[in-house]
Amino acid sequence: MTGLDYNIALSVFSPFYIAFGVPSNMIMKKVRPSIWLTGMVLFWSIIMVCTGLVHDFMSFLFARCFLGIAEGGLYPGAVYYITMRYLGNECGFRIALFFSMATAAGAFGELFARGISDMSGAGGKDGWSWIYIIEGLLTFCVGCISYRAIGDSSNNTKFLSETEQKEVMRRLAIDRNLLSDECNSKYVWQALKDWKIYVNMVLAFCLSTAVYSLSLFLPTIVKEMGYTNNAAQLMTVPPYVVACFFTISASFVADKMKQRGRFVLRFLALGINGSALLISSDKTPVQFTGTFLAALGVFPTTPLLSTWVGNNLSGSLKRGVGFGMVVGFGNFGGIVAASSIALWMALVSQASDDSSLLTTHLRFIEGHSIFLSLLSLAFVLTVLMMTYHKMENNRRVARDAERGLTADTYTPKMKLQQKDEGDDATFWRYTM
Please name each of the domains of the chain with its CATH number.
5-424 (1.20.1250.20)
Write down the pLDDT at residue 351.
52
Residue 400: per-residue pLDDT: 87
Residues of the chain with pLDDT under 50: 357-361
**pLDDT for the residue numbered 34:** 84
Q: What is the pLDDT of residue 1?
A: 57
pLDDT of residue 268: 96
pTM summary value: 0.85
Question: Given this model, what pLDDT does residue 361 score?
Answer: 46
Distance CA 200, CA 255 (A): 20
pLDDT score, position 190: 86
| pLDDT for the residue 415 | 80
pLDDT tens, residue by residue, 195-245: 999 999 999 999 988 887 777 677 777 776 666 666 666 777 788 888 889
For residue 108, the model assigns a pLDDT of: 67
pLDDT in tens, 293-347: 988 999 999 999 999 998 898 777 888 888 888 988 888 877 776 666 656 555 5
